[in-house]
């Protein structure tokens, strides 16, 4: 009883910290280093996914607010780019220290905003986001060009790495703090300034993160606006002063952004979707493969991850054992209010995304061969009735051509397939337009290396299935995206431009001595 009360109390105190911040940040954007009202007077409601209640409003910005943010970033760029890189890094280090001190506020608002469970998701995501911020701050000294041996007589030949200018960053809601840092930190440390648009479903935690950064960053280095994609995102993409776009989200939008940025030859980085294979060979260590299927599917983030291993290929010899193990573990996961530290699984971000899962489940259930092995419903618990909850779901018997196995559901739904031939399994694993991540479980080195060679994916793991993190270069192949993030190469390749310089020292004049 006492324990239950303690649980309730932490949930209440977490809730209080989060709602105070939600109230303070409501109706605000960040321009010139300050929380201000937008020019647009329209707003978007922000909903707590755990109970569908309103937690605040954010401005529904349109092009006038975008123009204002770009002007601010433009002004800031002229002096931010001139600050020596390691000085910029030190400013960012100080900002990261402030984030660290206010970690609890970030974790609780992240959880309230997204419906992602605080213990399993919001706490580790906040830690990874701050860690990534520190990492890029520390990489400031790595901004450097190359020096070439003379290939022309008397000529000094070198290249520079310079900031590009104003970067437009557009992020989604599924891991908003980590994804925000993946864009703003390498851009800012490289001397660019940023206009960031938050996702309409989870804007407040990002605003809090950016608000804390303002205590150290010069005004205008990071401007933050909110709004819908077409109304606030597109004006950033097409703005003539924005010289680089970095985006994470759906393939459909990524493709549109690339087309819209093309006329001004603006480089784009795209992190898009996936339909990723998680493959278990007959000799796999089941002690790690079974939890690896659950972690890989990101069930404790309601499957809302681009890396979710939603196509699970299991060798027929161990199929039943694996399924039994996974189903047992799924049934032990506790679903509940995201701010309750006892919850393993929280709620899906929005009614729209819940409906997306319901749509795919309806399709799946129409298939006569389908068998739902776990989940397949909204939870019966009346306490979860108002929130956007859906049980962690595992199915078998769905034809691989079904949209359920081909399209990104971005919900807690995975399909299992039994196989007995490595080559045809690999063919099926690669038979998707996406190529984001892939995992294999085996103790057979030959097969592991064959898999690494043949799999069409940008992020490949063997005998583990960890989430992307700082210093691990990450990005997709095929229709999963363009470019890599989270490591040094992302700062150098995506947020700098280069000049090639040839300086001819000429001949020593005869009338000069020494």
Catalytic positions are 271, 306
Q: What is 40-75 written as a DSSP string? A: ---EEEEEETTTTEEEEEEE---HHHHHHHHHHHHH
Cα 311-403-302 angle, rounded to 5 deg? 55
Q: Reduced to 3 states, what is the DSSP secondary structure of residue 243? A: strand
At 356, list the tokens: 């997306």
When binding is defined by CB under 6 A, the residue of 56, 249, 277, 325 that contacts ligand NAI is 249
Alpha carbon 355 to its chain's center: 22
CB of 448 to ligand NAI, least distance (A): 27
Q: What is the Cα Rg of the chain in Å?
A: 24
Alpha carbon 66 to its chain's center: 23
Phi/psi-derived region of residue 91, left when phi > 0, alpha when psi is between -120 and 50, beta in every other case: alpha
Q: Alpha-carbon distance 65 to 247, whole Å?
A: 19
Q: Alpha-carbon distance 357 to 385, whole Å?
A: 16
CB of 143 to ligand NAI, least distance (A): 28
User: Distance of CA 427 to CAs 21, 25, 407, 513, Å?
Assistant: 50, 50, 17, 74
For residues 88 and 140, the answer to whether their CB atoms sit within 8 Å is yes
Neighbour-count burial of 401, counting CB atoms closer than 10 A to its CB (0-12 exposed, 13-18 middle, 19+ buried): exposed
Based on CB atoms, which residue is closest to ligand NAI, 269 or 496? 269
Based on CB atoms, which residue is closest to ligand NAI, 115 or 172? 172
Q: Which stretch binds ligand NAI (CB under 6 A): 5-13, 41-49, 93-101, 249-257?
A: 249-257
- Tell me how many residues contact ligand NAI (CB under 6 A): 26
Q: Which stretch binds ligand NAI (CB under 6 A): 40-48, 131-139, 242-250, 288-296?
A: 242-250
285-344: contacts with ligand NAI (CB under 6 A): 306
- Output DSSP code: residue 301: G
Alpha carbon 26 to its chain's center: 23
CB of 352 to ligand NAI, least distance (A): 8
- Interaction mask 256-295, ligand NAI, x per CB under 6 A: xx-------------xxx----------------------
Strands 277-280 and 437-441: parallel
Residue of this chain nearest to ligand NAI (CB atom): 229
Based on CB atoms, which residue is closest to ligand NAI, 357 or 418? 357
CB of 317 to ligand NAI, least distance (A): 33
Helices then strands, each counted (H, E), the chain: 16, 24
CB of 158 to ligand NAI, least distance (A): 38
450-489: contacts with ligand NAI (CB under 6 A): none
CB of 344 to ligand NAI, least distance (A): 21
For residues 481 and 250, the answer to whether their CB atoms sit within 8 Å is no
CB of 288 to ligand NAI, least distance (A): 26
- Interaction mask 198-237, ligand NAI, x per CB under 6 A: -xx---------------------------xxx--xx--x
- Interaction mask 394-413, ligand NAI, x per CB under 6 A: --------------x-x---
Per CB under 6 A, does 347 bind ligand NAI?
no
CB of 139 to ligand NAI, least distance (A): 24
When binding is defined by CB under 6 A, the residue of 46, 137, 170, 190 that contacts ligand NAI is 170
- Interaction mask 348-377, ligand NAI, x per CB under 6 A: --------x---------------------
Per CB under 6 A, does 253 bind ligand NAI?
yes
Please state the length of the chain.
Answer: 514
Based on CB atoms, which residue is closest to ligand NAI, 113 or 340? 113
For residues 347 and 302, the answer to whether their CB atoms sit within 8 Å is yes
Residues within the interface to ligand NAI (CB under 6 A): 170-172, 174, 197, 199-200, 228-230, 233-234, 237, 248-250, 253, 256-257, 271-273, 306, 356, 408, 410
């Amino acid at each position: 009883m006492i324990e239950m009360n303690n649980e309730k109390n932490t949930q209440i105190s977490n809730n209080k910290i989060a709602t105070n911040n939600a109230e303070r940040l409501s109706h605000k954007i960040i321009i010139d280093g300050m929380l201000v009202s937008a020019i647009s007077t329209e707003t978007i409601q922000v909903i707590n996914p755990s109970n569908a209640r309103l937690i605040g409003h954010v401005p529904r910005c349109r092009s006038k607010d975008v123009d204002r943010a770009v002007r601010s970033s433009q002004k800031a760029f002229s002096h931010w780019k001139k600050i020596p890189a390691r000085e910029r890094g030190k400013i960012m280090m100080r900002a990261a220290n402030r984030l660290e001190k206010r970690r609890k506020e970030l974790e609780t608002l992240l959880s309230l905003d997204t419906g992602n469970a605080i213990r399993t998701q919001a706490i580790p995501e906040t830690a990874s986001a701050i860690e990534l911020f520190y990492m890029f701050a520390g990489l400031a000294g790595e901004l450097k060009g190359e020096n070439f041996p003379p290939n022309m007589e008397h000529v000094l030949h070198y290249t520079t790495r310079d900031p590009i200018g104003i970067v437009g960053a557009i992020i989604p809601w599924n891991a908003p703090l980590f994804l925000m840092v993946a864009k703003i930190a390498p851009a800012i440390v490289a001397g660019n300034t940023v206009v960031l648009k938050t996702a309409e479903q989870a804007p407040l935690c990002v605003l809090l993160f950016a608000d804390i950064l303002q205590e150290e960053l010069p005004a205008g280095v990071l401007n933050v606006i909110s709004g819908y994609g077409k109304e606030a995102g597109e004006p950033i993409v097409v703005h003539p002063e924005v010289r680089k776009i970095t985006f994470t989200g759906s393939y459909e939008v990524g493709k549109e952004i690339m087309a819209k940025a093309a006329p001004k030859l603006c480089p784009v980085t795209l992190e898009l979707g996936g339909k990723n294979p998680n493959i278990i060979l007959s000799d796999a260590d089941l002690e790690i493969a079974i939890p690896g299927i659950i972690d890989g599917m990101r069930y404790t983030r309601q499957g809302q991850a681009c890396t979710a291993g939603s196509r699970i290929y299991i060798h027929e010899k161990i199929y039943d054992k694996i399924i039994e193990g996974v189903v047992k573990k799924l049934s032990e996961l506790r679903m509940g209010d995201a701010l309750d530290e006892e919850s393993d699984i929280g709620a899906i971000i929005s009614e729209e995304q819940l409906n997306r899962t319901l749509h795919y489940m309806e399709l799946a259930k129409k298939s006569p061969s389908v068998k739902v092995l776990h989940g397949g419903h909204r939870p019966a618990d009346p306490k979860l009735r108002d929130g956007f909850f859906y049980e962690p779901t595992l199915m078998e018997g769905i034809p691989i051509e079904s949209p359920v196995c081909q399209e990104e559901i971005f919900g807690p739904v995975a399909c299992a397939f039994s196989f007995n031939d490595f080559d045809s399994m690999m063919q099926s694993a690669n038979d998707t337009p996406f190529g984001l991540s892939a995992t294999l479980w085996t103790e057979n080195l030959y097969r592991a290396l064959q898999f690494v060679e043949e799999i069409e994916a940008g992020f490949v793991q063997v005998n583990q299935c960890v989430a992307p993190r700082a210093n691990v270069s990450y990005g997709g192949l095929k229709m999963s995206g363009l470019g890599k993030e989270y490591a040094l190469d992302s700062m150098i390749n995506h947020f700098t431009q280069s000049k090639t310089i040839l300086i001819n020292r000429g001949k020593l004049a005869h009338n000069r001595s020494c």
